[in-house]
Amino acid sequence: MTIAMQGGLRPVRMGSMDVETSRSADGAIYIRSRAALPGYARSLVDSLDDWADKAPDRTLFADRGPDGEWRRLSYAEARERSRAIAQYLLDRGLSAERPLVILSGNGLKHALAALGAMRAGIPYAPVSPAYSLVSKDHSKLKYIFELLTPGLVFAADGGAFADALKAVVPDDVGVVVARSPVDGLTTALFDEMIATMPTSAVDDAHSAVTADTIAKFLFTSGSTGMPKAVINTQRMVCCNQVMIASALAFLQDEPPVLVDWLPWNHTAGGNHNFGITIHNGGTMYIDDGSPTPGGIERTVRNLTEIAPTVYFNVPKGFELLCHHMSANEALRQNFYSRLQLLQYAGAGLSKHVWDALESHAIAATGQKVMIITGYGSTETAPFAATTTWPVNRPGEIGLPAHGLELKLVPNGEKLELRLRGPSITPGYWRQPDKTAESFDEEGFYRIGDALKFVDPDDAGKGLLFDGRVSEDFKLSTGTWVNLGQVRGAIVAAFAPYVRDAVLTGLNRNHVGALLFLDVEAARSIPGVARNANEKALAHDPALRALLQERLNDLARRSTGSSNFVARVIVLDTPPSIDASEMTDKGSINQRAVMARRHELVEDLYAEPVPPHVIVAERTRK
C-alpha cells in the first residue's frame, strides 16, 4: 500500500499495482499483476445483506423526491423490499430466458428492482432511456426486446414511457410503473411489487445463485451497429469490486459517499459506482443533474449540499463543474472538503480542465486532490486498469487490476490490447458468432483498443491509451494518420466551441474534419446571437473567424501530413441517435456520420473550395 503525498497532494491510501511481463516468440507481450486476486462475494446481494446486518439504518441510496428533498433508502429497507420484489418476479416465472427489463433511469425504485432480480437469480437489463424518450422510431428498443424476450418491464413513469411501451411490449408481457399506468397494457404499480409477501422460495432462489449466475445484461453503445447484450455474471461484478478496492485502497477505510449521475444502463455507473457503494457499505446520492448547461445546475445544488469522498465524472461534467466553482465558493469548499480522489472516464481530460481542478482544490484546501482515469469496457465489468500514483497528463491508464492479464499484440503501427481474467464477460447473449470472434485462441478478449508503454524499458511506469486499432487510416501518400491523436488535437484546439470531430482522409491527399459544435459555448462568443441555432451558428461570421484562427494555429503546430488538418466544415445539424451517428452515451460514430453526410465529406476535397469549407492557412497574413 502507498500513501500518495507528492507535490502538495492530499494524502490518500492507494494499492500496489506491481506487474511482471513476458514475451512470446511471435512478439506478443503479456502483462500481469504480481498480486493474487483476493476472495470475493458470491453475489452482490450477499454484500448488501452483510451491510444490512452491520449498519441497517445507514443510507444506501438517496434521490430527490417531487418536493426536492432527499428520499433515503437504508440497507435494511433495501434488503426487505428486494425480498418482496424477488418473490413478485419468481411468481411470474421470470428467468434468463425471460428477464426483467428496466427502461427508466437511476432512482430508488430502479435500484430495488435490480436488487430484487439479483436476489432471485433473475437477470435484469437496464436499457438507455434515450431509446425510449429520444428515439423517434424506437428501432433499437425493438431490437433489444426481440433479443431478450423479456418477462416483465419496469418504467418509473408510465406517462413518459407510454409511446415506447406501446411500440415494443408484447401483449403477453406485463408492465410495472411507479405512476401513471398505461392504457391498453397489462400494468401494475410498483407498490404492488414491494407489498408482496416473500416466502421460502426467495431464500431457495438466492441460495441457488452461483458465481456463474447472470446478474444482468448490459448493452454496448451500438457505435458500430445494433447494441449487443453483454452477459454480466455475478463473478464479474463481485470480483471486479475486489479489484477496485485493491487499487483504490482508501475505499476500505471508511464507507464512501458518492454524488453520482452516471447512468446505470452503462457499466461505469451501473457496475463500477453502484457496486462500489454496496461492496464498501457506502452511500450514493443519486444526482439528478447531467453534464449539460441545464443539468449542471442540479449537480451544483447537490454538490453544495453533499460532500463526496470520491467523485466520478466525464470530462465535460468536470469542465462545467469547474466553471461553476470559479464563481461559487460554497460549492468549491463543500466539494473538496472530504474528497480523496477524482476519476474521469469516457474521454480524455483537457489540460485546461485538469489545471482548473487542481487550482480549485488548492484554493479550497491548500492541497491538490489526486486525479486518475480508469480503463475498461462493458465487457470487462468495467475496471481493468488504473494508475495508483499521481500523474500530470491525461491518457495514462496505469497497470492491470489484480487477477487480470493483458496481452499486447503487434498490429501494424500499434500494440493491440487483449484481456483475460475472471472479470471478463463470457460473451454476448444469443449471439454466439459475435462471442466467438471477440476472443482469440488463448481466450483473451479482443477489445479493439491499442496501448503503448509510458517507458518501453520499464513496464512498471504504466501504459498509455493509443486509440482504436481499426480507426487509423492511410492518406493517399501511404502516411498513417492516428485518428485518436488528431481528433483529440482538434477538439483541444477548438475548445470549448467544438464538442467532437469526425476525421476524413482515407486514400485522400489530406486530413479533413467535420465539426460538431458545442452550442452553448458557441453562443457565448462576442457577436454571436444568444439564441442562435446550429444552422445559424455554422454560418456565423464571428464563429467562423474564431475557428479559422484556431485552425491556422493548429496547422502551424503540425509536423507533417499525418497531423495537418487542411480543411474543416462546421456541421449545421446535431448528430442523430436514430441514424446511429451518436450513441446513447453521447459518443460519435465516425463511420455513420461520414455515411450519412457523404456529400459534405466530398466537399472537403472539392476544387474549387466551396464557401462553407474553412481552409487552414499555415503562414500569417
Q: What is the DSSP letter of 207?
A: H
In this structure, what is the dihedral angle of CA atoms 523, 528, 531, 536, given to the nearest 10 degrees?
-100
pLDDT band at 502 (very low <50, low <70, confident <90, very high): very high
Residue 298 pLDDT exceeds 70: yes
**Average pLDDT of 420-449?**
98
Question: How many percent of the chain have pLDDT more than 70?
Answer: 98
All 3 cell numbers of residue 45? 446481494
Which residue type sits at 436? A
Residue 2 pLDDT exceeds 60: no
Confidence at residue 282, expressed as pLDDT on a 0 to 100 scale: 99
Q: Which of 376, 410, 374, 368 is nearest to 395 (CA)?
A: 374
**Average pLDDT of 398-424?**
96
Residue 345 pLDDT exceeds 90: no
Q: How many residues does the chain have?
A: 621
Q: Poorest-confidence range of 92-101, 258-267, 474-483, 549-558?
A: 474-483
d(CA 430, CA 444): 20
Confidence at residue 383, expressed as pLDDT on a 0 to 100 scale: 98
Q: Poorest-confidence range of 225-239, 274-288, 475-489?
A: 475-489
Which residue type sits at 133? L
Q: What is the DSSP letter of 439?
A: B
Mean of the per-residue pLDDT values of the chain: 94
What would the pLDDT profile of 548-588 be if each residue is shown by its tens digit?
999 999 999 998 899 999 999 999 999 988 888 887 767 78
Distance (Å) of CA 522 to CA 355, 495, 542: 22, 10, 10
CB 271 within 8 A of CB 215: no
pLDDT band at 467 (very low <50, low <70, confident <90, very high): confident
What would the pLDDT profile of 608-619 be if each residue is shown by its tens digit?
999 999 999 987
d(CA 513, CA 492): 14
Residue 494 pLDDT exceeds 90: yes
Confidence at residue 456, expressed as pLDDT on a 0 to 100 scale: 93
Confidence at residue 223, expressed as pLDDT on a 0 to 100 scale: 59
**Average pLDDT of 213-234?**
90
State the Rg of the chain over Cα: 25
DSSP 3-state assignment of 257?
strand
Question: How many percent of the chain have pLDDT more than 90?
Answer: 84
What would the pLDDT profile of 138-192 be if each residue is shown by its tens digit?
999 999 999 999 999 999 999 999 999 999 999 999 999 999 999 999 999 999 9
CB 370 within 8 A of CB 341: yes
CB 234 within 8 A of CB 211: yes
Residue 281 pLDDT exceeds 70: yes
In this structure, what is the dihedral angle of CA atoms 257, 262, 267, 273, given to the nearest 10 degrees?
0
Residue 392 pLDDT exceeds 80: no
Query: Read out DSSP for 362-430?
Result: HHHHSSB--EEEEEE-GGG-SEEEE--S--SSTTEEEEEPTT-EEEEEEETTEEEEEEESTTS---BTT
Confidence at residue 224, expressed as pLDDT on a 0 to 100 scale: 59
| Range of 2-11, 476-485, 524-533 with top mean pLDDT | 524-533
More confident residue, 406 or 395: 406
Q: Which of 453, 443, 455, 452 is nearest to 405 (CA)?
A: 443
d(CA 487, CA 502): 7
Confidence at residue 315, expressed as pLDDT on a 0 to 100 scale: 86
Confidence at residue 202, expressed as pLDDT on a 0 to 100 scale: 99
Which residue segments constitute the domains of the chain, with CATH numbers given? Answer: 473-615 (3.30.300.30)
More confident residue, 469 or 494: 494
Burial of residue 541, with CB atoms counted within 10 A of its CB: 0-12 exposed, 13-18 middle, 19 or more buried: exposed
